[in-house]
């Protein structure tokens, strides 16, 4: 497996660039399992925040192959970083993708899965989810990135950095208009962040972000404004990094 590690002098971010997307997926699964095992060892449970997008689906499919002995899924609690306001069986729901790729196998007990109930509408689901995650410590947050540098449903130019819990987005530039998202503050309160960036469509924005990091600046992109308390790791495939 060919992997290149990049660190930056003025940032605690670490980037790992994989020549093949499949290798990135394997590395992400290994990282998640390692975080789960260390956290379960330390405090008996593991709180993981899932993401939408295609890269996480490949990861969920790998997790679905693992046994309780390998992963201790009975100690995992799952949350969602953002959700689109659609009925629960809509094909564009992040929760449906996670269920189909992984959770329908029942490895994580259903009472330990805390997804955003956006089928109830934006306002009500925001109230419910804010309460649901109140006081919850996130051990690891998975995040993808859109071609405009958005992550979760935090979009460029929608400055909501003062919000503590969840953000109700009503003017998403990407369908649907209405989305619910963990806020910057809530994501940044997590111990660890794993950013997953794949595909050549991400090249331009990745370059902007990379050049800013290299010159000690913070790019004006949502993905660049996210960092975990303990660790922020970004996995990229060579298509995203090199075009």
Ligand X SMILES: O=C(O)[C@H](O)[C@@H](O)[C@H](O)[C@H](O)COP(=O)(O)O
CB of residue 135 vs ligand X: minimum separation in angstroms? 26
Q: Give the three-state DSSP class for 100.
A: helix
Task: Check binding of 228 to ligand X (CB under 6 A).
Answer: no
Q: Which stretch binds ligand X (CB under 6 A): 23-31, 49-57, 70-78, 99-107?
A: 49-57
CA distance 210 to 8: 9
CB of residue 53 vs ligand X: minimum separation in angstroms? 3
Helix axes 54-63, 94-101, angle to 10 degrees: 30
Cβ-proximal residues to 237 (8 Å cutoff; 6+ apart), any chain: 17, 18, 19, 20, 21, 24, 197, 198, 199
CA distance 158 to 17: 29
Please list every residue from 106 through 165 that binds ligand X, using CB under 6 A.
Answer: 144-146, 150
Nearer to ligand X, 54 or 230 (CB): 54
Q: Which stretch binds ligand X (CB under 6 A): 22-30, 47-55, 119-127, 133-141?
A: 47-55
CB of residue 58 vs ligand X: minimum separation in angstroms? 9
**Nearest to ligand X by Cβ — which residue?**
144
Among 47, 50, 53, 139, binds ligand X (CB under 6 A): 53
Helix axes 21-43, 54-63, angle to 10 degrees: 60
Task: Check binding of 174 to ligand X (CB under 6 A).
Answer: yes
**Cis omega before residue 176 (within 30°)?**
yes
CB of residue 15 vs ligand X: minimum separation in angstroms? 16
Is the dihedral angle over the CA atoms 155, 159, 164, 167 positive or is it negative?
Answer: negative
Task: Check binding of 213 to ligand X (CB under 6 A).
Answer: no
Count each helix (H run) and each strand (E run) in the chain, helices first: 8, 11
Nearer to ligand X, 37 or 100 (CB): 100
CB of residue 196 vs ligand X: minimum separation in angstroms? 6
Task: Check binding of 55 to ligand X (CB under 6 A).
Answer: yes
What residue ranges bind ligand X (CB under 6 A)? 51-55, 144-146, 150, 174, 198-199
């Amino acid at each position: 497996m060919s992997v290149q590690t990049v660190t930056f002098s003025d940032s605690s971010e670490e980037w790992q660039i994989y020549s093949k997307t499949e290798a990135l997926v394997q590395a992400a699964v290994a990282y998640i399992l390692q975080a789960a095992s260390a956290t379960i060892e330390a405090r008996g449970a593991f709180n993981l925040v899932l993401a939408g997008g295609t890269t996480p689906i490949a990861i969920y499919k790998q997790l679905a192959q693992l046994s309780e002995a390998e992963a201790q899924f009975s100690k995992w609690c799952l949350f969602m970083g953002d959700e689109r306001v659609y009925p629960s069986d809509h094909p564009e729901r992040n929760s449906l993708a996670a269920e189909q790729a992984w959770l329908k196998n029942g490895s994580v007990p259903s009472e330990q899965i805390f997804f955003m109930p956006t089928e109830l509408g934006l306002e009500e689901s925001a109230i419910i989810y804010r309460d649901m995650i109140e006081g919850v410590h996130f051990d690891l947050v998975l995040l993808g990135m859109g071609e405009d540098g958005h992550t979760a449903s935090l979009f460029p130019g929608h400055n909501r950095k003062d919000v503590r819990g969840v953000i109700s987005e009503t003017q998403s530039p990407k369908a649907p208009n209405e989305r619910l998202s963990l806020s910057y503050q809530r994501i940044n309160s997590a111990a660890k962040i794993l950013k997953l960036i794949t595909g050549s469509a991400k090249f331009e924005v990745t370059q902007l972000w990379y050049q800013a990091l290299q010159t000690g600046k913070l790019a004006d992109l949502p993905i660049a404004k996210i960092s975990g308390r303990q660790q922020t790791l970004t996995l990229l495939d060579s298509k995203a990094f090199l075009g």
